A and B are shown apart, each in its own frame.
Chain A
Amino acid sequence: MVSIKPLRSGPPGTPMAVSLRSTRELATGNWRTFRPERVERPSPCNLDCPAGTDVRAFLQFAAEGDVARAWHTIRRHNPFPDICGRVCYHPCELACNRTALDEAVNIHAIERAIASEASRRRIGPEPIAAPALSPRVGIVGAGPAGLSCAYHLARRGYPVTVFDDNVEPGGMLRYGIPRYRLPRRTLDREIAMLSRMGITFISGAHVGATSGAPDLSSYAALFLAIGAQRSKRSRVPGDSLRGVRSGLDLLREVNSGGSAPVFGRTIVIGGGNTAIDAARVALRLGADVTVAYRRSTADMPAHPDEVAQAREEGIDFVQYVAPMKFVGSGGRLTGIECQRMRPGEPDASGRPRPEPIPGSTFTITADQALTAIGEEVDVETLHRFALSNGGRLRADRWGRTSRAGIFAGGDAATGAGTVAEAIGSGRRAADAIDAHLQGRDLVEEGTAERVGRPDLNLFYFAPHPRAIPRSEPDPRTFDEVVAGLGWPQAVAEAQRCFTCGACTACDNCYVFCPDAAIVPNRATLAYEIDLTHCKGCGICATECPRGAIILRPEEQR
């Protein structure tokens, strides 16, 4: 018979439903159909850095305030953080996933602050660990590609000699980029560090010259990084008039310490970075400057920040205007006959092809014209090595040419036209030269998929505005126009980084795992997943803010 009684005290047992033995005994892992995996995936900034810098890593060190490790991390790939922090067009920031929340991390300003703080604290470079090697490597061209290649080879112990036909090393860094963007002391300081590594610089050596060219036969390998130093001819009638010159000539002259006569109404023709540099230099020399471009201002290849700064400084922009003829009197430029253009169908670049508007010619009064419609390689050097390919040196991604032991890179080979591309090209060539000299195969770079916005969990990030250094440019001087961030500001800005694709020991997986199947080790970041208990629910992957845990289907049993 069933018991029927009043309740005097509770029936024996635990107050609540609880397993008395540890649930560790339950091998719930065999319920799993998906397996979480901790992964390190490339961040967009790392993948999109043409120099190959480990941006994510240096930002992490900066966020911790560890300037030495941040600086050394950059310099593992790039000898010029102080230069690049100023002149690189930072495609890393365009790629930055933080734009999904607010604004990209100000990576270039942090890079610059790291270099500046490292210098202020007199932090030395990492010692070269490699033993001294004997094969000598010759490098032609002391621009960013050649210097980068020299640096990376010197780090590996090779004796390196860099030839350049200019007085001082730096290439376009020195003779192309204006001082207001890259102060000479910054350039000199970072190049001097290369000299201190034992790299030999030979100036005034014109490798392509028909007579008096240096003897390169004693070098076990050569790297050709001669750049694209020549301004393209405009092919506009009348370009031999006095008052018409290339923007690059002006830059070179001013950067060499010359006093270029620039005055009156100056028209810059072109829309690239050289055009903007020439325009801003002319402005500083006292000219009244207008930039004329045959497409829309928005379609200019120049970096939008540069265009915006130029506009702020008082430079005028006219769009959809193409020069037809330079007109003058007494051999001197007085005006430019122009044609109005309009946007047509998109061309290969995806931008609308400019089409002339019939019957729309007009003349602009001009005292000076600066042409800046692109740069090309000095063909004589190309001829000497017989490696020409449509005006460039023919080489693969690693800089390997059709001739063993001869490598080529930088603008002369890639046509990329940016400092960071040149640095990356020089670094890859150093790898290839090392592999060639040591008889090793090159290790191809990984093709892991980048961490995208859907891989992130933005819930764990609070909006915080991007730090922007205060600048008050004075367009009458060559003083630097863009200010830097102070070190504490840079550290705070680095803390905005999501660290896409890499564990930061945030503990979310550990906190959220319902099976206590995450075994954390915060010191080593070795967060193991206990697969005996992990049921494959995927919460860890979902709650990982930075896409460092992925779920893979278990193989069918």
Chain B
Amino acid sequence: MTTKVLEGTHAISWAVQRSRAAVIAAYPITPSSGVVELLAEMCADGRLDARFVAVESEHSALATCAGASQTGMRAFTATSSHGLLYMHEMLHWCVGARLPIVLANVNRAVGSPWNIFADQNDSLSQRDTGWLQYYCEDNQEVLDTIIQAYKVAERVLLPAMVCLDAFFLSHTSEPVSIPEPHEVDAYLPPFAPDYFLSPDEPHAFGGLSAADGYMELRARIDAAMRHAEQVAEEADEEFGRLFGRRHPLVEAYKTDDADIVLVASGTVAGTAREVIDARRARGERVGLVKIHLFRPFPFTPIRRAVSGAKKIAIIDRNISFGHGGIMASELRSAMCAHPLAPPIFSFIAGLGGRDITPQTIDDVVAHTIQQEQPEADTLWVGLKE
């Protein structure tokens, strides 16, 4: 185990290096560019034995990864915001073709207007493509999750997206432990799919499958996605055994006796811990639930984590216009059949990189404590008058 002070982008690069990705194709976009810059260096200086493919667009980047993965190569790409959206068609394709590519998405706001700062709408708008989605709290979690993502993706034959907040993680340096290559090798076996493209034994992939077969293929994807939750749970357990670090799919922090449970994801969860600790120090029964795995949506662990709460507050750094916070809507769908059905306060905060400070979160908790019921389905935090 080596410890380095790494930016989030480079934590990803090291994870990809340790995962022995064989093909990397990417197109640069802020704030993800650093990920592939370091990988390009590693390919050039021999630290990583991979083919680095410079392409002319994100669509081609993912298409290249798809081609590589189709031939049985472990593939990786990284992007952000508009780059991810440009991949949209290929995101769907990779799922249907069952290609376990890992993609690092540095969550960044979507234009217009231009904005390069943290916001989850880019990846959450890709929610229904069929990719696994992880959201990370710190750079260590980023590195560990990339390695885990390969393990899970290749088991269930679905691609996985590892998301991290722009700048708050991508460009912030933290001490990160990098497992040794042989340790990762022991955890992550070589990618060896049953079906792959080879001129030696050619098979046709993705050919026309009309109404007589398409629906079953879709059902298999849904089954694989649901199965992925258990696989991800096991992958994290094994990771914990080997490396001494866990990244629960849904983390319950001081929720056991909590009346108020705050739900958050990404770096907001990290900030929220401080608020929870401060209020706990004052004897308040508050807790935090962090959503780490968003797709497949871990219904059971979420329900379990919030089950004792009298009220739930959830902060979304994203917005589904005309509906509300996207994670809030997922949470509500998980809770609708809950016998106690605690009121859910849904807060929209921090869009386009606006700071979510401990004070912001404390105000959200205070608001939730004060109000019996939310005055509306969606509450906007800190809007200018």
Q: Is the CB of A16 within 8 A of B216?
A: no
Q: Is the CB of B204 within 8 A of A18?
A: yes
Cα–Cα, bound, A51→B116 (Å): 64
Task: Using known A-B contacts A7-B223, A10-B224, A18-B195, determine if residue A23 contacts B202 with beta carbons closer than 8 Å.
Answer: yes
Residue of A nearest to B201 (CB): A22
Nearest 4 A-B pairs (CB), nearest first? A10-B223, A10-B220, A516-B199, A19-B204
Residue of B nearest to A11 (CB): B216
Min distance, Cβ B17 to any Cβ of chain A, angstroms: 26
Q: Can you list 19 pairs linking A and B with CB atoms under 8 Å apart?
A: A8-B223, A9-B223, A10-B216, A10-B221, A10-B222, A10-B224, A13-B220, A16-B206, A17-B96, A17-B205, A18-B195, A18-B206, A19-B204, A19-B205, A19-B207, A22-B203, A510-B199, A516-B199, A516-B202
Cα–Cα, bound, A449→B204 (Å): 38
Residue of B nearest to A24 (CB): B202
Q: Is the CB of A17 within 8 A of B201?
A: no
Cα–Cα, bound, A13→B224 (Å): 13
Residue of B nearest to A520 (CB): B199
A-B interface pairs (CB < 8 A), number: 65
Q: Is the CB of B203 within 8 A of A19?
A: yes
Size band of the A side of the interface? 20 to 34
B226 sits at the interface (CB 8 A) = yes
Q: Is the CB of A17 within 8 A of B207?
A: yes
Residues of A with C-beta under 8 A to B206: 16-18
Task: Using known A-B contacts A13-B216, A15-B98, determine if residue A20 contacts B226 with beta carbons closer than 8 Å.
Answer: no
Cα–Cα, bound, A120→B204 (Å): 57
Min distance, Cβ B332 to any Cβ of chain A, angstroms: 21
Min distance, Cβ B47 to any Cβ of chain A, angstroms: 25
Q: Mark A199-211, 1 if CB is under 8 A from B, else 0.
A: 0000000000000
A217 sits at the interface (CB 8 A) = no
Q: Which of B157, B195, B222 has the most CB of A within 10 A?
A: B195
Size band of the B side of the interface? 20 to 34
Of residues 176 through 227 on chain B, the ones whose CB sits less than 8 Å from some CB of chain A are 195, 199, 201-207, 209, 213, 216-217, 219-224, 226-227
Q: Which of B204, B223, B227 contacts A23 (CB 8 A)?
A: B204
Residues of A with C-beta under 8 A to B205: 16-19
Q: Which of A15, A22, A23 has the most CB of B within 10 A?
A: A15
A134 sits at the interface (CB 8 A) = no
Residues of B with C-beta under 8 A to A11: 216, 219-220
Min distance, Cβ B213 to any Cβ of chain A, angstroms: 7
Cα–Cα, bound, A22→B203 (Å): 5
Task: Using known A-B contacts A15-B98, A19-B207, A23-B204, determine if residue A7 contacts B217 with beta carbons closer than 8 Å.
Answer: no
Q: Is the CB of A13 within 8 A of B195?
A: no
Q: Is the CB of B202 within 8 A of A7?
A: no
Q: Is the CB of A22 within 8 A of B157?
A: no
Q: Mark B131-171, 1 if CB is under 8 A from A, else 0.
A: 00000000000000000000000000100000000000000
A14 sits at the interface (CB 8 A) = yes
Q: Is the CB of A16 within 8 A of B217?
A: yes
Min distance, Cβ B242 to any Cβ of chain A, angstroms: 28
Q: Is the CB of B202 within 8 A of A22?
A: yes
Q: Which of A15, A18, A21, A23 contacts B220 (CB 8 A)?
A: A15
Cα–Cα, bound, A15→B218 (Å): 9
Cα–Cα, bound, A332→B98 (Å): 97
Given contacts A15-B220, A16-B206, A22-B202, 11 further A-B contacts (CB under 8 A): A10-B220, A11-B216, A15-B224, A16-B96, A16-B98, A16-B217, A17-B217, A19-B203, A22-B201, A515-B202, A516-B199
Min distance, Cβ B25 to any Cβ of chain A, angstroms: 16
Q: Which of A11, A13, A14, A17 has the most CB of B within 10 A?
A: A17
Min distance, Cβ A440 to any Cβ of chain B, angstroms: 47
Q: Mark A490-532, 1 if CB is under 8 A from B, else 0.
A: 0000000000000000000010000110000000000000000
Cα–Cα, bound, A307→B207 (Å): 65
Cα–Cα, bound, A26→B207 (Å): 14
Residue of A nearest to B195 (CB): A18
B42 sits at the interface (CB 8 A) = no
